């Protein structure tokens, strides 16, 4: 085993320091080989190794982590390839100094159409702060010409890049984890028979026989990637943290086209002030339904049940002219480019056509027979893909989100065309595209396997969270998958009994007021989870079940306050505007459950 070579190089634990181990010679000696249980057919390019020591590294204002200060680590990257495949994948690992290593490994994912959040990302530093070797992969995409999956999906018109598809779907992250575990074991000379009994570790508690506690954390696309690991590589992980997973990929990508097409089908195009005023009205009306008046809608279920869209009829709206600059946070190359736009002043009253559009959007995409095709977003969350102002025509219109238009042109039609013409597109067309994508990529990107028995039997723990005000990935989609797992794995149990069993190892948390993998400017007093990795460590390593999780307010009047988030299916309610209980109500639960009756096949 190469760890024996590494141990010889370093000597005793007391002599080990970051400067001792963060060298090219030591790192190369610790690279895993076939006997270290790396995937069959993989060859590591030892000449590609890069090594950099970092000291007193800090990250502040990280969404998913508390401030990270003064960490030391060794940054290592190297490439590998697959036998008989023309490819080259690069993995990067941040390894804590030996004195701070806690026998943990953390795999991370990406966002949008990138498979990682880049070197220097807070996730990498966050893992190191908890004594975890933390890794990411480039998926092999730069070898094919780009860091972005959408740019390398096609080898040519009519020819999909299937190795890239499977790397994106689940394989690259699983390999990064498997290689990383072998590398970590060698680097720190971890015994494969005893957890936390290594020469470098400062923690001597016992554990299982793998030698490492192995975790995953990611949100959005990173959340989907985490679910892919629970479904496709369950043997690798002790705990997986997923946020707002962009799973059910065939539906999720097309769903961003739903609002524009629903508006186009009605043939009336409200200005942005209509949508903004409606959002503010729902927040104001539903704020106190949770028993606490703080500008946060913690009970979007009650808002759905009690807020009547038609109550807006005849009410006035007024918005000043504004200029905005897009940060370019979309998936594809065109969306990633920053752009500016100007919106004129708007004044008026809600008319019947405004109400028709709002009601249609808030009840979800339906086919021509009125059957539900995909989930709506929650009340008090807002709208993500509606109308835009066209200064050339001085009118409001719709536009095609580049990322999702190219899902149709590139990934369904296999044509290297970046834009989609939505003229004449109908709700039924969207439904057809959803079904096509679901079936075409069921074993790679759909990521909806409901039987997680292998993950459970391995002893895995799954922490799943989703902001209730998410306008990119519907929160109802996370609830639907959780319910699918319950129904498939505990078919003979009641709703309550099945959830009790499921909560032993898989917990879902709906974050009041939170946006898509982020805090929410519209509800600034809402908290966002920064302690999920700490919760997961306690759950896996200490048996402390997270009945609630922390959510830290990061702006507004309550900046710094740590709030508690209930486990689904319980919902929060405050008494005396201050004391929260997690309650369960069948009517409220039913308001967040949907039957996708437009399909002839199950949609998990």
Condensed to tens digits (0 to 9), the pLDDT of residues 215-225 reads 999 999 999 99
Residues of the chain with pLDDT > 70, as a percent, come to 91
Residue 206 confidence (pLDDT): 32
At residue 191, the pLDDT reads 63
Q: Which residue has the higher pLDDT, 9 or 262?
A: 262
Cα 397 from Cα 258, distance rounded (Å): 14
pLDDT value of position 325: 60
Q: How far apart are CA 527 and CA 45, in angstroms?
A: 45
pLDDT tens-place string over residues 284-321: 999 999 999 999 999 999 999 999 999 999 999 999 99
Instruction: Provide mean pLDDT across the span 545-561.
Output: 95
The confidence score (pLDDT) of residue 363 equals 97
Q: Provide mean pLDDT across the span 423-451.
A: 98
Per-residue pLDDT, 195? 47
Residue 223 token pair: 């959340």
* 273: pLDDT strictly greater than 90: yes
pLDDT of residue 211: 80
Q: Give the residue among 389, 410, 365 at the shortest CA–CA distance from 594.
A: 365
Above 50 in pLDDT, residue 14?
no
pLDDT at 545: 98
Count of alpha carbons within 13 angstroms of residue 162, beta-carbon side: 6
Q: Does the annotation count 516 as an active-site position? A: yes
Q: How confident is the model at residue 21 (pLDDT cuts 50, 70, 90)?
A: very high
Residue with tokens 């809402």, as numbered in its chain? 526
Domains and CATH numbers, the chain: 24-195 (no CATH), 212-247+447-569 (3.40.50), 252-326+337-441 (no CATH)
- At 326, the pLDDT band (50, 70, 90 cuts) reads low
At 198, the pLDDT band (50, 70, 90 cuts) reads very low
Total-model pTM: 0.93
Residues 6+ apart with CB under 8 A from 529: 64, 243, 465, 509, 511, 549, 550, 551, 552, 565
**Residue 203 reports pLDDT greater than 70:** no
Question: What's the whole-number mean pLDDT along residues 447-465?
Answer: 99
How far apart (Å, rounded) are the C-alpha atoms in residues 543 and 567?
A: 17
The arithmetic mean of pLDDT across residues 438-464, rounded, is 99
Which sign, positive or negative, has the C-alpha torsion 98, 225, 532, 71?
positive
The answer to whether the beta carbons of residues 210 and 194 sit under 8 Å apart is no
Cα separation, 298 vs 551, whole angstroms = 12
Q: Once rounded to an integer, what is the mean pLDDT over residues 262-283? A: 98
Residue 30 pLDDT greater than 60, yes or no: yes
For position 379, what pLDDT does the model report? 95
Per the prediction, the chain carries an average pLDDT of 92
The burial class, CB within 10 Å (0-12 / 13-18 / 19+), for 268 is: middle
pLDDT of residue 402: 84
Beta strands 579-583 and 89-96, pairing class: unpaired
> What was the pLDDT predicted at 197?
37
The pLDDT value recorded for residue 161 is 96
C-alpha span between 387 and 423 (Å, rounded): 15
pLDDT of residue 56: 96
Contacts of residue 118, Cβ cutoff 8 Å, sequence gap at least 6: none
Residue 2 pLDDT grade (very low, low, confident, very high; cuts 50, 70, 90): very low
Residue 467 has pLDDT above 80, yes or no: yes
220 in active site = yes
Of the residues 138, 290, 354, 470, which is catalytic? 470
Give the whole-angstrom CA distance, residue 144 versus residue 153.
9
Provide the angle, in degrees to the nearest 10, between the axes of the packed helices 272-286 and 352-362: 70
> Which is catalytic among the residues 29, 97, 199, 220?
220
Higher pLDDT, 569 or 577: 569
| 3-state DSSP of 385-406 | CCEEEECCCCEEEECCCHHHHH
> Which residues, listed in sequence order, are joined to residue 216 by a DSSP beta bridge?
107, 240
Contact (Cβ atoms closer than 8 angstroms) between residue 76 and residue 46: no
User: Distance (Å, rounded) from C-alpha 314 to C-alpha 279?
Assistant: 16
CA proximity to 566, closest of 466, 493, 439:
466
Token pair listed for 98: 């030996």
> According to the model, what pLDDT value does residue 209 have?
45
The pLDDT of residue 210 is 53
E strands, 97-158, are 104-108, 132-137, 154-156
* Residue 75 backbone phi and psi in degrees, to 5: -90, 120
Local confidence band at 339 (pLDDT 50, 70, 90 cut-offs): low
Measured between alpha carbons, how far is 32 from 95 in angstroms, rounded to an integer?
A: 15
Can you give 543-589 as a three-state secondary structure string?
CCCCCEEEEEECCCCCCCCEEEEEECCCEEEEECCCEEEEECCHHHH
pLDDT at 327 over 60: no
How confident is the model over 494-510, as a mean pLDDT? 98
Confidence check: pLDDT of 6 > 90: no
pLDDT band per the 50, 70, 90 thresholds, residue 11: very low
Q: What pLDDT was estimated at residue 432?
A: 99
- Catalytic residue, chosen from 82, 256, 482, 516, is 516
Structure tokens at 205: 């508690």
């Amino acid at each position: 085993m190469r760890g024996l070579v590494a141990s010889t190089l370093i000597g005793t634990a007391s002599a080990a320091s970051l400067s001792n181990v963060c060298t090219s010679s030591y790192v190369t000696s610790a690279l895993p080989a076939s006997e270290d249980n790396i995937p069959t057919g993989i060859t590591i390019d030892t000449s590609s190794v890069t090594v950099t020591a970092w000291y007193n590294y800090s990250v502040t204002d990280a969404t998913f982590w508390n401030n990270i200060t003064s960490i030391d680590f060794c940054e290592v990257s190297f490439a590998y390839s697959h036998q008989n495949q023309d490819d080259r994948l690069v993995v990067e690992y941040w390894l804590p100094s030996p004195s701070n290593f806690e026998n943990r490994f953390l795999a991370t994912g990406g966002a949008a159409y990138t498979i990682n959040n880049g070197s220097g990302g807070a996730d990498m530093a966050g893992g190191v702060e908890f004594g975890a070797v933390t890794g990411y992969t480039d998926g092999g995409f730069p070898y094919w010409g780009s860091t972005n999956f959408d740019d390398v999906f096609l080898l040519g018109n009519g020819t999909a890049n299937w190795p890239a598809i499977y790397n994106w779907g689940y394989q690259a992250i699983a390999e990064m984890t498997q290689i990383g575990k072998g590398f970590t074991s060698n680097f720190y000379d971890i015994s494969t028979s005893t957890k936390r009994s290594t020469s470098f570790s400062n923690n001597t508690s016992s554990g299982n026989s793998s030698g490492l506690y192995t975790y995953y954390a990611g949100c959005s696309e990173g959340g989907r990637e985490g679910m892919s690991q629970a479904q496709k590589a369950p043997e690798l992980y002790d705990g997986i943290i997923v946020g707002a997973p962009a799973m059910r990929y065939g539906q999720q990508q097309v769903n961003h086209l739903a609002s524009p097409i629903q508006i186009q089908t009605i043939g009336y195009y409200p200005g942005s002030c209509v949508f903004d005023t409606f959002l503010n009205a729902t927040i104001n009306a539903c704020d106190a339904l949770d028993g606490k008046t703080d500008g946060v809608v913690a009970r979007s279920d009650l808002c759905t049940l009690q807020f009547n869209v038609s109550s807006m009829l005849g009410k006035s709206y007024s918005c000043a002219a504004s200029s905005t600059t897009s940060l370019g946070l979309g998936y594809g190359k065109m969306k990633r480019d920053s752009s500016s736009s100007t919106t004129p002043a708007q004044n008026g009253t809600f008319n019947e056509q405004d109400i028709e559009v709002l009601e249609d959007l808030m009840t979800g995409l339906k086919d021509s027979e009125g059957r539900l095709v995909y989930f709506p977003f929650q009340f008090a969350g807002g709208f993500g893909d509606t109308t835009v102002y066209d200064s050339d025509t001085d009118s409001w219109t719709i536009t095609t989100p580049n990322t999702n238009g190219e899902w149709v042109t590139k990934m369904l039609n296999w044509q290297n065309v970046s834009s989609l013409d939505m003229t004449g597109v109908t709700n039924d067309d969207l439904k057809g595209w959803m079904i096509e994508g679901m079936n075409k990529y069921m074993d790679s990107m759909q990521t909806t396997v409901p039987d997680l028995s292998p993950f459970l039997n391995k002893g895995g723990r799954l922490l799943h969270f989703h902001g209730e005000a998410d306008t990119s990935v519907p929160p109802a989609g996370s609830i639907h998958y959780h319910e699918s797992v319950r129904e498939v794995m505990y078919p003979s149990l009641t709703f309550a009994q099945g959830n009790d069993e499921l909560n032993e190892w898989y917990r879902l948390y709906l974050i009041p007021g939170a946006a898509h993998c982020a805090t929410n400017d519209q509800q600034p007093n809402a908290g966002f989870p920064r302690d999920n990795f700490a919760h997961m460590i306690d759950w896996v390593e200490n048996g402390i079940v997270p009945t609630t999780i922390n959510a830290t307010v990061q702006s507004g009047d309550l900046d710094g306050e740590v709030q508690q988030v209930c486990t689904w299916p319980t919902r929060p309610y405050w008494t005396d505007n201050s004391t929260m209980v997690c309650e369960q109500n069948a009517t409220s639960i039913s308001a967040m459950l949907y039957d996708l009756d437009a399909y002839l096949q199950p949609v998990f």
